[in-house]
Structure 1
Amino acid sequence: MSKSAWLFLCLTVVTGLLALGATSEEGQTAAMVAAGVSTSLLLLTLFMGRKIKFDPILR
Structure 2
Amino acid sequence: MFIVLYEIRIIRMYEFTMYFYEFRAISLFYVHCSLPTAHCLLLTAYCLLLTAYCLLPTVYWFYY
Q: CA RMSD in A?
A: 2.4
Structure possessing the higher radius of gyration over alpha carbons: 1
Q: 1:15 to 1:45 in 2, by over 3 A?
A: farther
More helix by share: 2
- Quote the sequence identity (%): 6
Matched with 2:20 is 7
TM-score by length of 1: 0.56
Distance 1:19-1:8 versus aligned 2 partners, 3 A rule:
same
Q: Which runs of 5+ in 1 are unaligned?
A: 53-59
TM-score by length of 2: 0.53
Unaligned runs of 5+ residues in structure 2 are 1-11
Runs of 4+ in 1 over 6 A off after TM superposition: none
Aligned residues: 51
